[in-house]
A and B are shown apart, each in its own frame.
Chain A
Amino acid sequence: MNTNPDEIKLALWLDDELTGSEFAEMEAWAATQPDQLKAREELREYRSILSAHMPASEELPYPDFFNSRVNQGIRDTQVAETKPVAPTTNPAGSSFWKSWLMPVAACAGMVLAFSIGRHGFGESASIVSNPPLNPSVNPVVYTPEEGVNAEWYASTGADATVIVLAGVSAIPDSTDFSQTVYVPTIREADRTATRELEGAETIK
């Protein structure tokens, strides 16, 4: 009677994947198979060498930035999916639009532009920026320094975007910023000053 296990069962046993009765059955069989026991030991040794020197997990460079890029990628795909699809028009409607409405619309546009150019915006008029495509989506401010939390908001009073960095160590009062940044002189900042000086020299 052939009591040898099939190849699949043998491979699973060699790799310590068998459990329960199958494992017990194979162990009983292997007790009389020194070659197979040796093969299993060699395989275990090989696996231990490989797993000791080839880490299963490696922290990737810039891990926080990686997460923020993944989040950004997900938001981008969500925005792309929520974009309205351009309505399809039938060919007959399209030719009607081209032949009649387009020239009329172009004329109306030119008149409107001319009128705005002459009178400017009225007091009640205000510049309306395009609404965000997806209002629920907020940009993420990435901070490369660990432990620093960044939040941003649009300050209407100051007419500016304010970024608040929480967790940044305080800048000492003794810091001399003139040593760290380039500050242009009045002459460099104001080109007209140069012209005035040149003019003054000519008068002399």
Chain B
Amino acid sequence: MNKDHGDASKSEQGRTKSSSKKDEASGDHEEDFRLVALAQQGDMSAYDELVTRHRGKIYAMIRNMVKNDADAWDLSQDVFIKAWKALPRFEARARFSTWLFRISHNVVYDWVRKRKIESAGELNDEIFDRDRIDLSARTAPAFVESPDDALSNSELREKISAALETLSPEHREAVMLKDVQGLSYKEIADVMECTLGTVMSRLFYARQKLQNLLKNEYESR
């Protein structure tokens, strides 16, 4: 009896957390749509505001995919330039952030394809590996360590990052979109241009691997 009550209360807690997040997010989406409508009429300051609102998410996502700060900075810039060009075609059926993630997906995979052609190497996933990336490939400011980088030095984050790096790019992207960015299965399928079943299977295997790699962390909590 007590166990049932405990389970029900846990279930409620989990749902309350996610629903309050959703309420908070829905206001953000309304503001996004308002700014998008202005930007579609050519209002550059509205678009600038959209860039400011979403640049952090896009940068974090791309950085975790390409494993290089300077390239992530450049590619994030490309995403927003491409998004501006495609803005007249944006319809409010999807969230603006989801739409940006879809553009990011295309920009990152185009970049990877281009680099594979340039390097004329094997068509494998090692292009995502930090050590294989030519740091002088494009112009970008030299970076100093930011407070965020200091945070990244935390032991657990390093462990998670290392565990994520063992995943294939598709699996890593699915995990990032679902468990870090909080997208729904349907949204991930839209972003990655695949079926709901593919998303579920990718997430299942990726999570299983991650959960095994981070098993000690669970047990210590």
A: residues with CB less than 8 A from B are 7-8, 11-12, 15-17, 23, 27, 31, 37, 40-47, 49-51, 53-63, 65-67, 69-71, 73-74, 77
Contact = CB atoms under 8 A, between A and B. Distances in A.
A59 B143 CA distance: 13
B11 A27 contact: yes
B81 A47 contact: no
Interface stretch (B103-111, B112-120, B153-161): B153-161
B60 A55 contact: yes
Contacts of A41: 10
B7 A37 contact: yes
Contacts of B77: 66, 69-70, 73
Contact of B14 (A16, A42, A65): A16
A54 B184 contact: no
Contacts of B218: 42, 45-46, 49
Given A57-B56, A58-B63, A61-B69, A7 B200 contact: yes
Given A45-B221, A50-B160, A51-B180, A66 B14 contact: no
Given A8-B200, A50-B179, A61-B146, A42 B84 contact: no
Contacts, number: 128
Interface in B152-199: 154, 156-157, 160-161, 164, 175-176, 178-182, 184-185, 196-197
B15 A67 contact: no
15 contacts: A15-B178, A17-B184, A17-B185, A23-B15, A40-B14, A45-B218, A54-B179, A57-B60, A58-B60, A60-B56, A66-B77, A67-B51, A67-B55, A71-B48, A77-B84
Given A7-B200, A45-B221, A56 B180 contact: yes
Contact of A60 (B7, B55, B144): B55
B126 interface: no
B134 interface: no
Nearest to A144: B141
Nearest to A31: B4
Nearest to B81: A73
Nearest to B146: A61
Nearest to A23: B15
A74 B81 contact: yes
B55 A47 contact: no
A67 B160 contact: no
A65 B141 contact: yes
B11 A59 contact: no
A50 B69 contact: no
Given A60-B56, A67-B51, A70-B48, 7 more contacts: A12-B185, A49-B221, A54-B157, A58-B59, A73-B81, A74-B81, A77-B85
Contacts of A55: 60, 148, 151, 180
Contacts of A69: 77
B210 interface: yes
A57 B57 contact: yes
B217 interface: yes
Given A7-B200, A66-B76, A54 B214 contact: no
